[in-house]
Amino acid sequence: MASVDDSREVAGAAGPLDLLLTQAAQGTVRRLSPGKPGLKFLGGLARRPDRVAARARSLAGQLAQIAVGTSDVAPSKRDRRFADPAWTENPLLRRLVQAYLATGETALGLLHDVPLEWKDAERVRFAGTNLVDALAPSNNPLISPVAWKALIDTAGANLVRGPRNLVRDLASPPRVPTMVDPDAYEVGRDLAVTPGSVVLRTPVFELIQYRPTTETVRTVPVLVVPPTINKFYVLDLAPGRSLVEHLVGQGQQVFMVSWRNPDARHREWGFDTYATAILDALDAVEEISGEDATHLMGTCSGGILASMTAAVLAAKGRQDRLASLSLLVTVLDQTRAGLLGATMDPDTAAQSVAASRRAGYLDGRRLAEVFAWLRPNDLIWNYWVNNYLQGKRPPKFDILSWNSDTTRMTAQLHADFVDMALGNKLTRPGSVTLLGTEVDLSQVTVDSYVLAGSADHICPWQSCYRSSQLLGGKMRFVLSTNGHIAALVNPPGNPKSSYRVTDDNSAPVEEWTDTARTEKGSWWPDYSAWLGERSGPDKPTPDELGSARFRVREDAPGSYVRDK
């Protein structure tokens, strides 16, 4: 079975969740349809017949060259859809691919010929791109050489296995091709295996303290707040691919929040519930470590919650409890946040909130479907060919195993996120109230470390950068040359990795890349060093985990992470 390139971007439920949540309430057809923006686009084309005619003449000329074999149109070497040699060596298949590429380029070119408001343009472009991708000849079982070779190699078994896989995947959400063998990994055996113990369990979360592996530890500990959709272990994925393991190996004391997988009984848990949980975790970390300040790290939706909780501490004069704030692939400012921002409107938001109110929660499997259609070639059609045309089991890939391990989100937390995003309220001090306190992110003046991915299609790096400008204090902004999840799972040793960094986020986002310096390798060592500079002197490693009040309950990764 072919190996999977770890550098490939995959969907993970760890994005600007407040925008994605609105899309989960819609059916697939409606979500992929351009709707009213599509009608605006068609009207715009009708008013520009000269552009349509010019595109048509150009396409006709290309098709004529293709027919006589003089065209140099060819798929990109990075386009894995046409990697099989038959696509280029067989003259009929080569012409078919060339005609598809030329027609697709013409269709997508028309999308740029009609000026639309940015939201409408994003939706039309999304629908058009998905349609072009779906019509690729590589997806057609009657044409694909991969399918015909599988027919010969398996003596026709793929004709049985493929439809069986399709029926199974359509039977229950998310109704997309299975991306990973469900039996390939086990949490606690293959994933989330960094040694540690659960030292606190509440109805909302478990707190994991990881066991130090060095003779001394840094004085100031780190508390990690993971996303509220999917499990925490994307940060503790597997040995050699775990940020937690890396930090512990550098002498950092690390604590991790593991959220409970809620159900309808917990429908009323909202922002206040989760902020209270973060404060409860901070209390425990302070007592166990014996320190008055903690590094607070949040990822994605967890970063939003961590930021707002930090603002509450600042407003109450207790910001001294924080040694720093770290935000990984977190969007606080939703201004022009790509396709996801474009597809959000009051009607869609109201429908989404009403749907989760009825159930008591939002099912993470619905979000998994939304994520998949954001990158259909990688996350839909790639597995369409593998699972259905070839009849194969999907490859083993730890990130995709984590991605499929979805959780639910309570109805109230869903409503709170959507309401906050709909008005982009975190950009306006006082527009959001948390624990009875108005949130003003500019009051957070501790040093901050903000990470974004240059190829992130879920949390655009420009949005992460603008978000960093909402905070006060000294800022280190790091742009990793990776996508959304690869930016997090980015261990040292990958020769392709690099990042750009500055300690100044005052420049406009358009000018930032001109001022940033480029560093080779993973950002993990940079982050560990940054924490070390703010963690005080080293001290002897504690003999035991927990404390008299917060006793060890069970080994990591705990019980909540295993809840389905």
Coil/strand/helix, residue 448? strand
Contact 325, 471 (CB under 8 A): yes
As beta bridge partners, residue 191 has 187
Instruction: Please give the model's pTM, rounded to 2 decimal places.
Output: 0.86
Local confidence band at 17 (pLDDT 50, 70, 90 cut-offs): very low
User: pLDDT for 415-451, tens place per residue?
Assistant: 999 888 878 899 999 999 999 999 999 999 999 999 9
Residue ranges covered by each domain of the chain: 27-139, 196-344+437-562
Contact 312, 304 (CB under 8 A): no
User: pLDDT for 452-474, tens place per residue?
Assistant: 999 887 788 998 999 999 999 99
User: How is residue 191 annotated by DSSP?
Assistant: B
Q: Which of 10-14, 47-51, 278-282, 349-353 is predicted most confidently?
A: 278-282
Give residue 344's pLDDT. 56
Interstrand relation of 448-453 and 254-259 (parallel, antiparallel or unpaired): unpaired
300 is catalytic: yes
Q: What number of helices (H) and strands (E) belong to the chain? A: 22, 17
Give residue 379's pLDDT. 84
User: pLDDT for 496-517, tens place per residue?
Assistant: 899 999 999 999 999 998 999 9
Give residue 308's pLDDT. 98
Give residue 543's pLDDT. 93
Marked catalytic residue, from 300, 337, 421, 488: 300
Q: Where is average pLDDT lowest: 22-26, 39-43, 126-130?
A: 22-26
Q: Which residues contact 548 (CB under 8 A, 6 or more apart)?
A: none
Task: Give the separation between CA 143 and CA 538, rounded to whole angstroms.
Answer: 64
Nearest CA to 100 out of 70, 80, 73 is that of: 73
For domain 196-344+437-562, the question of CATH label 3.40.1280.10 is answered with no
Contact 448, 468 (CB under 8 A): yes
- Count the helix, strand and coil residues of the chain and give each as a percent rounded to the nearest 5: 45, 15, 40
Task: Give the separation between CA 229 and CA 223, rounded to whole angstroms.
Answer: 18
Contact 336, 118 (CB under 8 A): yes
Contact 445, 314 (CB under 8 A): yes
Mean pLDDT throughout 77-82?
Answer: 92
Local confidence band at 26 (pLDDT 50, 70, 90 cut-offs): low
As beta bridge partners, residue 297 has 224, 326
Give residue 346's pLDDT. 74
Q: Which of 175-184, 189-198, 488-497 is predicted most confidently?
A: 189-198
